[in-house]
């Protein structure tokens, strides 16, 4: 799986050699780190620090300061090698699949079935497209899955250990330092918190102090790195308070604790102000690529990150999920909900390991999606990717809990057959949509035929 994932995520990573969607924001931010420019940004800093680190390691560009005074790059800039900027997002995409496999190994007794469900995520075209560009979602998914894995390990262990909770603190802090949606870790951590409260043991409370220490240290340290890398204060200082500007210019001394508070406060204030300025979703706009949250479980709306024409042929880098993977994920959301509600109404009590995990992962899914119901600003399909992965986990639990369909019993052998049949269909679907994942030439007819649901938006050129 590692070898296959390495090829899928890193093959021709620098292609296309043009900016992709939100790379127009994230690469200028990365260059600010590389050139010591003091700045504020909408998202927390960890993802962009890793993007900058990739370019720092590989050093494929002689010039790394052409975007430093830009918030957003407008138009294409020739002769830029994007491999370094995209390296860590792609690597974390691969690492996410590996962590997902370990999660499946914890909840699925059969190693082959766990392997097959991991491959389903590996063959999702939307996850691949997002991870192969200098964007933040693969980092978020990795830290959310790592937090989930460590939480499951901690709750299944005979006793909590300091090492486990230290790692859990680092992982959960990583999630909230990539995107604000990473605060879903508070729900993922609930079983660990409840165990500490339920056990009422001094050792448990002491171990939890190690979690709080690791989380706080990581959170503060990453923000301190963000601010310490900024040596130069450019003329445009959007979102930086006068107090911090005076401190950075050497005209004011601030004690370390107050300085840390001011730095994090300014960052949160800037993010809040920035999001208030983002336009609302408007589906009547002809060029709107955003979509409402209720489109997302069905794969809508897809986004053409880049496209170019040559006669009757097109090249598209298109954000669209593998339809089979997303259908399985959607089934994994709907079937457990029906199972939970049915249990309430009919008083069915099943005490298997998987049955206890279904409400837990359903709660994670619902909690992740709830804020999007209230957000009016434009949002995009890639915001659903973490929820889609949790839908796959829910489907695997449902398959484990199912006993039969009609006269067909769900023996271990039959579950293997079902899993292998599903991965065959998933791989076939991945191949069909692969030209949009790797920016290969396709025809207009191809774009029409794959648009099974209108909300997928692959025939947007014909409509426009």
In percent, the amount of the chain with pLDDT more than 90 equals 49
| pLDDT for the residue 233 | 67
Q: For residues 4 and 23, is the Cβ–Cβ distance under 8 A?
A: no
CA distance 54 to 231: 21
Question: What are the structure tokens assigned to 84, written together?
Answer: 């370094």
- The predicted structure's pLDDT at residue 431: 96
- 225-279 pLDDT, tens digit each: 998 888 766 665 666 777 777 777 666 778 788 888 888 888 888 888 888 888 8
Q: Tell me the chain's radius of gyration from C-alpha atoms.
A: 23
- Express each pLDDT in 394-452 by its tens digit: 999 888 877 666 666 677 788 888 889 999 999 999 999 999 999 999 888 888 888 88
CA angle 306, 311, 315 (to 5 degrees): 25
Q: pTM, whole model, 2 decimals?
A: 0.93
**Residue 417 CB: number of other CB atoms within 10 A?**
10
Chain-wide mean pLDDT for the chain? Answer: 87
Residue 461: band (very low, low, confident or very high) from pLDDT cuts 50, 70, 90: low
Q: Are the C-beta atoms of 410 and 403 separated by less than 8 Å? A: yes
Residue 32 pLDDT level (bands cut at 50, 70, 90): very high
Nearest to 222 by CA among 49, 56, 33: 49
Q: For 67-112, what is each residue's pLDDT tens digit?
A: 888 888 887 777 889 999 999 999 999 999 999 999 999 998 889 9
In the prediction, which pLDDT does 436 show?
92
Question: Which tokens is 385 given?
Answer: 């990717």
pLDDT of residue 349: 60
If you ran DSSP here, which 8-state letter would residue 72 be given?
S
- Of 73-77, 158-162, 186-190, 406-410, the range with the lowest mean pLDDT is 406-410
Cβ-based burial of 264 (10 A; exposed 0-12, middle 13-18, buried ≥19): middle
What is the separation, in whole angstroms, between the first and last Cα of the chain? Answer: 41
Coarse DSSP helix, strand, coil percentages of the chain, rounded to the nearest 5 percent: 65, 5, 30
Report d(CA 109, CA 114) in Å as an integer: 8
* CA angle (146 as vertex; 203, 164 as ends), nearest 5: 20
Compute φ and ψ for 396, nearest 5 degrees. -60, -40
Beta-bridge partners for 442:
314
What is d(CA 298, CA 294) in angstroms, rounded to the nearest whole number? 8
Q: What is the mean pLDDT of residues 164-187?
A: 94
**Which residue bears the tokens 């990795």?**
142
Going by pLDDT thresholds of 50, 70 and 90, the confidence category of residue 48 is very high
DSSP 3-state of 316: strand
Any idea of the CA torsion for 349, 365, 417, 322, to the nearest 10 degrees? 160
452: phi then psi, degrees, rounded to nearest 5: -65, -40
Residue 462 has a pLDDT of 46
């Amino acid at each position: 799986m590692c070898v296959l994932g390495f090829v899928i995520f890193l093959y021709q990573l620098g292609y296309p050699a043009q900016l992709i969607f939100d790379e127009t924001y994230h690469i200028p931010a990365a260059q600010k780190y590389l050139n010591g420019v003091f700045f504020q940004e909408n998202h927390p800093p960890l993802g962009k620090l890793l993007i900058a680190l990739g370019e720092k390691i590989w050093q494929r560009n002689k010039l790394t300061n052409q975007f430093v005074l830009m918030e957003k790059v407008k138009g294409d800039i020739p002769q830029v090698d994007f491999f370094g900027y995209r390296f860590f997002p792609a690597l974390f995409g691969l690492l996410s699949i590996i962590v997902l496999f370990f999660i499946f190994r914890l909840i699925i007794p059969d190693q082959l079935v766990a392997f097959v469900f991991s491959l389903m995520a590996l063959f999702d075209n939307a996850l691949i497209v997002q991870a192969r560009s200098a964007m933040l979602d693969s980092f978020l998914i990795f830290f959310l899955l790592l937090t989930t894995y460590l939480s499951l390990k901690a709750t299944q262990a005979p006793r909590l250990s300091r090492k486990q909770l230290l790692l859990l603190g680092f992982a959960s802090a990583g999630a909230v330092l990539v995107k604000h949606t990473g605060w879903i870790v508070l729900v993922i951590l609930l079983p660990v918190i409840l165990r500490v409260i339920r056990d009422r043991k001094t050792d448990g409370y002491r171990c939890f102090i190690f979690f709080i220490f690791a989380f706080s240290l990581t959170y503060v340290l990453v923000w301190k790195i963000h601010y310490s890398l900024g040596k130069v204060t450019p003329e445009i200082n959007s979102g930086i308070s006068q107090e911090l500007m005076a401190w950075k210019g050497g005209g004011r001394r601030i004690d370390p604790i107050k300085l840390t508070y001011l730095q994090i406060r300014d960052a949160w204030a800037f993010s809040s102000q920035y999001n208030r300025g983002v336009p609302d979703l408007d589906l009547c706009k002809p060029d709107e690529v955003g979509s409402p949250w209720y489109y997302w479980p069905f794969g809508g709306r897809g986004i053409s990150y880049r496209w170019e024409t040559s006669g009757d042929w097109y090249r598209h880098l298109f954000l669209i999920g593998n339809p089979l993977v997303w259908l399985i994920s959607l089934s994994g959301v709907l079937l457990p909900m029906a199972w939970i509600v049915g249990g309430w109404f009919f008083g069915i009590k099943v005490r298997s390991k998987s049955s206890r995990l279904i409400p837990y992962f359903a709660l994670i899914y619902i909690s992740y999606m709830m804020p999007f119901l209230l957000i009016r600003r434009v949002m995009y399909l890639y915001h659903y990717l973490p929820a889609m992965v949790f839908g796959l986990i829910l489907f695997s639990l449902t398959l484990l809990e199912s006993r039969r369909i009609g006269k067909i019993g769900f023996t271990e052998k039959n579950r293997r057959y079902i899993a292998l049949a599903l991965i065959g269909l998933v791989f076939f679907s991945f191949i069909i949509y692969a030209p949009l994942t790797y920016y290969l030439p396709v025809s207009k007819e191809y774009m029409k035929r794959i648009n099974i649901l209108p909300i997928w938006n692959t025939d947007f050129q014909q409509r426009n």
